[in-house]
Amino acid sequence: MSYLEFLGNYSDRLIDGSLITLLQFVLAALVAVAAAIISGLIKLAQLKPLQAVATVYIEIFRGTSLLVQLYWFFFVLPLLGVSLEKFVAGFLAVGLCYGAYGAELVRGAIQSVPRGQWEAALALNMSPAQRMWRIILPQALVIMLPPWGNLMVEILKGTALVALISVPDLMFEARQINNNTYLSAQAFGTALVIYYIFARFVVTPLMRWLERVMARRIGRA
Amino acid sequence: MFEWRWEFTFEILPRLIGATGKTLLAAGGGYAVALVLGLIFALAQRTPWRVLTVATREVVEFVRSTPLLLQVFFVYYVGPQFGLNLSPWTAGLAAIGLHYAAYLSEVYRGGIESVPKGQWEAAKALNMSTLKTYRRIVIPQALPTAWAGLGNYLVGIFKDTPMLSVIGVGELMHTANAVGAEHYRYLEPYTIVGLIFLAISLPTAWLVRQMEISLRRRLGLTK
């Protein structure tokens, strides 16, 4: 079978798989951003019990493997009474795992906003919430966006693991096609190229664009 | 509701601890491959031949942008198609080594680029060969910068070894799957695996941080 024939026969499945991968990526990224902001802010706040919860979350998810977390979510949580659809377990595990890495980025960025900005907001009689939302977070966002670009690529790559709990994403379809045809180079090679295109020509340019837009909005372009 | 069973825990614990040794072996072996291959990638990008530089850059980008899991499958299954049969261990170490070589080459590059240009010029003025300049002047100064990255990726490669279970490398995750399937109990094996990972990666990460601090102090980079 020539490569063109291969593509003709299996492009439908590869496209379906790619769409699931994109969906998993978007949902996992949203979970990661939410988890990172919440736990990052909690770590900075002076609330001891909550701080301990955030620390435990970050250390557990950063200290173990994504695959272990995924299996735990999918096979163990139901035993404890929480049943998750495999699709949900997939993006939730990936999102929470990388959210723990993102939390450190959020914390570091907020801490690197110059001291004078905090003092100026205080001098203008802003409430703590106003100060955070209007002064500190927009500047922190510009600082942390470049490392988030790398993290987004890691999240995209992380979603490949959901194939192991049978979510029919690109990785899963490539494996199925390989099992049916034994055309490993074609099946896995095509999937590698698709992941590469997503990472290099979709996710990375999108994050760069976001960096520019945000920098312009706070007048640093 | 499922309950934690201690007698079952103690029954399977020796097997899981035995498999931890194999996980460490996989991480160590993969890291050794990555250290050498990463250095080759980094140095290839510093040669004067543009074709080699650009090609290496693209390979590194490609490997970094695609999932390790897919690379593991690719290396394991594509070989036999062309008459090259790799054992799970060989394929696994090659795949994880290649993946992390791409990351480590960036760490090396960052370290080498952090050495001021004047150091190179001084070495040249002293009539040192390129090899000697790297060995005596550049690498000792690049090391503290590179140390944090090298250490973090050591922890990273350790945490990624469970992916080798998919091609049958008998490491920790593979053993936990087998135990779970034999006894129809997944709560204990997967939880223990998680705890073993925590018990190894947290102290290692801490140690890497401490060594970075002391390395910087010894070389007079911080007070």
Detail the DSSP E strand segments found in A26-94.
none
With an 8 Å Cβ cutoff, is A174 touching chain B?
Answer: yes
Among the listed ranges A127-131, A143-147, A164-168, which one has the minimum average pLDDT value? Answer: A127-131
Whether A195 has a pLDDT exceeding 90, the answer reads yes
DSSP string, B179-202: HHHHHT--HHHHHHHHHHHHHHHH
Question: Whose structure tokens read 């994403």?
Answer: A169
Which pair of tokens denotes residue A219?
Answer: 């007048």
Min Cα separation B107/chain A (Å):
15
The average confidence (pLDDT) of chain B is 92
- The residues of B whose Cβ lies within 8 A of any Cβ of A are 1-2, 61-62, 64-71, 73-74, 77-78, 80-82, 159-163, 165-166, 173, 180, 186-187, 190-191, 193-194, 197-198, 201-202, 205
Of B2, B67, B159, which has the smallest distance from its Cβ to A160's Cβ?
A: B67
Provide the pLDDT confidence category of residue B148 given band limits of 50, 70 and 90.
confident
- Which chain A residues are closer than 8 Å to B201 by Cβ? 63-64
Average pLDDT over residues B48-52: 94
Cβ contact (<8 Å) for A65 and B166? no
In this structure, how many other beta carbons lie within 10 angstroms of the beta carbon of residue A212? 12
Q: Which residue's entry shows tokens 């062309």?
A: B82
Among the ranges A113-122, B2-11, B26-35, which has the highest mean pLDDT value? Answer: B26-35
Residue of A67, A72, A175, A182 to mutate when probing chain B, most B C-beta within 10 A: A67
SS3 A110: helix
Q: Is the pLDDT of residue A81 over 60?
A: yes
CA distances from A137 to A128, B23, B112 (A): 12, 41, 35
Of B2, B161, B201, the CB nearest to A79: B2
Using CB atoms, pick whichever of B67, B82, B166 lies closest to residue A195: B67
Q: What are phi and psi of A191, to 5 degrees?
A: -60, -40
- In this predicted structure, what is the pLDDT of residue B1? 54
Give residue B221's pLDDT band: very low, low, confident or very high (50, 70, 90): low
A132 pLDDT higher than 80: yes
pLDDT single digits (tens) B199-210:
999 999 999 989
- Per residue in B126-142, pLDDT tens? 999 999 999 999 988 88
pLDDT of residue B144: 82
pLDDT in tens, B63-113: 999 999 999 999 999 988 888 899 999 999 999 999 999 999 999 999 999
pLDDT at position A80 over 90: no
HSE toward the beta carbon, residue A107, CA cutoff 13 A: 20
Residue A44, SS3 per DSSP: helix
> How many distinct structural domains can be found in chain A?
1
Per-residue pLDDT tens over the stretch A6-46: 999 999 999 999 999 999 999 999 999 999 999 999 998 87
What is the C-alpha radius of gyration for chain B, rounded to an integer number of angstroms?
21
Q: What is the pLDDT of residue B41?
A: 96
Residue A26's domain spans which residues? Answer: 3-217
pLDDT band at residue B222 under the 50/70/90 scheme: low
Nearest to A24 by CA among A151, A194, A170, A173: A170
Average pLDDT of the segment spanning B11-25? 95
Q: Quick count: other Cβ atoms within 10 Å of Cβ B130? A: 11
Task: Write down the pLDDT at residue B83.
Answer: 85
Site from A153, A172, A188, A204 to mutate, B interface, most B CB atoms within 10 angstroms: A188
CATH number, residue A151: 1.10.3720.10
Residue A71 is encoded by which pair of tokens?
Answer: 């299996």
pLDDT of residue B215: 81
**A9 against B216, higher pLDDT:** A9
Structure confidence at residue A221 (pLDDT) = 58
Least confident of A164-173, B70-79, B191-200, B206-215: B206-215
Average pLDDT of the segment spanning A158-166: 97
Size of interface A-B (CB pairs under 8 A): 114
Question: Taking a C-beta distance cutoff of 8 angstroms, is the pair A112, A131 a contact?
Answer: no
- For residue A117, the tally of other CB atoms under 10 A from its CB is 14
State the pLDDT at residue A172: 97
pLDDT above 60: residue A208 = yes
Output the pLDDT for position B223. Answer: 52
Residue of B nearest to A188 (CA): B74
Average of pLDDT values for A190-212?
A: 96
Alpha helices of chain B — where are they, by DSSP H?
A: 6-44, 50-65, 68-81, 88-113, 117-125, 130-132, 139-160, 172-183, 187-218
Contacts of A157 in chain B (CB under 8 A): 65-68
Q: How far is the C-alpha of B12 from the C-alpha of B61, rounded, in Å?
A: 42
Domains observed in chain B: 6-218 (1.10.3720.10)
Give the span between the Cα atoms of A51 and B24, in whole angstroms.
Answer: 32
User: pLDDT averaged over chain A?
Assistant: 94
pLDDT of residue B139: 86
